Amino acid sequence: MSAPLLSIRELGVSFPRKEAPSTTVVEGVSFDIMPGEIVGIVGESGSGKSMTARSVLRLLPKSAELSGSIRFRGREIPEMTDEEIRDMRGALVSMVFQDPMTSFNPVLRIGDQIGEAIALHDRARRGRRALRDRVAKLLALVGIADPAERARSYPHEFSGGMRQRALTAMAVANSPALLIADEPTTALDVTVQDQVLSLLRELNENSGTAILLITHNIAVVASLCRRVIVMYAGRVIEDGPTDEVLTAPRHPYTWSLLQSVPRIDQAGTRLTAIKGQPPDPATPLAGCKFHPRCPWAEQRCGEQEPALSPIGEAHGVRCWLPMNGIAAAAQ
C-alpha cells in the first residue's frame, strides 16, 4: 500500500484574543489522502472546512495559530520556508477558491494570469507563443468557446460560470498532485456545475490528481467522492466511504444533515431542519459539541467529548451512541 499523499494529524487552528482565551476554529482534525483519491469534506458554514483546507497551503490569516502536523509527501508543510511553500503552491498543490471574482486580478487579462501561473513553475513554457498555446488549450479544456480570443478578456467580461471554469483551468495548469476545491460549484447553475464536476473527474482519471473537495452539497459528494469527512464545530465527527456514510450514517449530526436534503420523490413535504445553532467557537462547550442539538443526547454527551473511534475497517465516528443507536432510535 502506498504512503499517503497528504497526512494531517491533530490539526488545530486558533485566533488569539485580547484578555481572553484564544478562539479555536479547528481542533484535533486528522485524516489522510492517498494518491489519486477523491475526498469530500461536508458540514455547515463555520464547521472549519475551509480553514482546514487553507492550512494545507498556509493561506491562513497572519494572526492564526497553527498546531499539529500537515505532511505532504512526507514533508512537514508548517516547517517549509516561504520559498519552498511558494514553489509548492500551484505546482504540486493547487486550490480552486469559492469566489473566482476575488481570485483574479481585475485589471489583468484572464490569459495573462493563467500564463503567469504556468511560467512560475514551467521553464519550458515561458516563451510568449508557448504560453498562449497552453492557455488556449486549458480554456478549451474547461469548455470556454473561442479560447484564444477569450484569453484576452478581463475577469469582469466573463460570466460567473466562466470565471469559475477559468479559475479551475489555472489551478490544473501544472497538473498538481493534489487539487483542493473549496465550494467550486457554489452559485453556479446546474449545467455549469455538471461541467465543473466532469472536469474534476476527468482530471482525476487522466492525470491521477488527488482531490480534496470542500462543499455543503451532499449530492456533489455522492457523485464525485470515494470518501467523505463530516465536520462539525471544527472537528471531524464522521469519516468513511461515501456510500457507507450516506446510506448508513453513524453520527446523529450526519443523520440530521441527510434528513435536511430535499428529495424529488417527496414532493410537497416540508424540509427537515436541524434545531438550534452551532456552538460559538469563542465560548468553550463541554462534552460533544453537537449534544445541545442532538435528539438522542445522554448525560455523558454533555460531560465528556468522545474520541473519533473506528466502527469498521475504514469508518470512524465521534459519538457515544452504539453503532446501531441512530438506526434503532429513528425507527
Cell digits for 250?
453513524
For cell 479551475, the residue is 168
Alpha helices in 173-263 (DSSP H): 190-207, 218-224, 242-247, 252-259
Distance (Å, whole) CA 307 – CA 237: 9
Contact (Cβ atoms closer than 8 angstroms) between residue 294 and residue 252: yes
For the chain, how many structural domains are there in total? 2
Domain endpoint, select from 160, 175, 190: 175
- Shortest CA distance to 42 belongs to which of 202, 207, 263, 256? 256
Strands 235-241 and 316-317: antiparallel
User: Same structural domain for residues 113 and 240?
Assistant: no
User: Same structural domain for residues 217 and 82?
Assistant: yes
- Give tens-digit pLDDT for 167-181: 988 998 888 999 999
User: Same structural domain for residues 196 and 211?
Assistant: yes
Domain endpoint, select from 175, 206, 226: 175
Whole-structure pTM value: 0.90
Give, as one character, the DSSP assignment of residue 89.
Answer: B
Distance (Å, whole) CA 292 – CA 236: 17
Looking at the domain assignment, is residue 239 inside a domain?
Answer: yes
User: Same structural domain for residues 200 and 284?
Assistant: yes
Distance (Å, whole) CA 286 – CA 290: 10
pLDDT at position 328: 46
User: Same structural domain for residues 105 and 51?
Assistant: no
Backbone angles phi, psi at 253, to 5 degrees: -70, -45
Which amino acid, residue 299? Q
User: Same structural domain for residues 158 and 25?
Assistant: no
Domain endpoint, select from 111, 143, 175: 175
User: Same structural domain for residues 273 and 186?
Assistant: yes
The tens-digit pLDDT sequence of the chain (331 residues) is 579 999 999 999 999 988 888 999 999 999 999 999 999 999 988 899 999 999 999 999 999 999 999 999 999 999 999 999 999 998 899 998 877 777 899 999 999 999 988 888 876 556 788 889 999 999 998 888 999 999 999 999 998 888 888 998 899 888 899 999 998 877 677 777 887 888 889 889 988 999 999 998 888 899 999 999 999 999 999 999 999 999 889 999 999 888 887 776 667 677 788 888 999 998 889 999 999 999 888 899 999 999 999 987 889 999 998 555 455 455 4
User: Same structural domain for residues 159 and 253?
Assistant: no
Complete DSSP assignment for 92-128: TEEEE-S-HHHHS-TTS-HHHHHHHHHHTT-GGG-SH
User: Same structural domain for residues 109 and 126?
Assistant: yes
Give, as one character, the DSSP assignment of residue 269.
Answer: P
Domain with 29, as residue range(s), is 6-92+176-330
Contact (Cβ atoms closer than 8 angstroms) between residue 135 and residue 115: yes
Distance (Å, whole) CA 120 – CA 117: 6
Cell digits for 6?
497528504
Looking at the domain assignment, is residue 60 inside a domain?
Answer: yes
Cell digits for 209?
490528481
User: Same structural domain for residues 249 and 316?
Assistant: yes
User: Same structural domain for residues 162 and 212?
Assistant: no
pLDDT at position 8: 97
Looking at the domain assignment, is residue 1 inside a domain?
Answer: no
For CA atoms 21, 26, 30, 32, give the dihedral sign. Answer: negative
Q: Domain with 316 in it: what CATH number?
A: 3.40.50.300
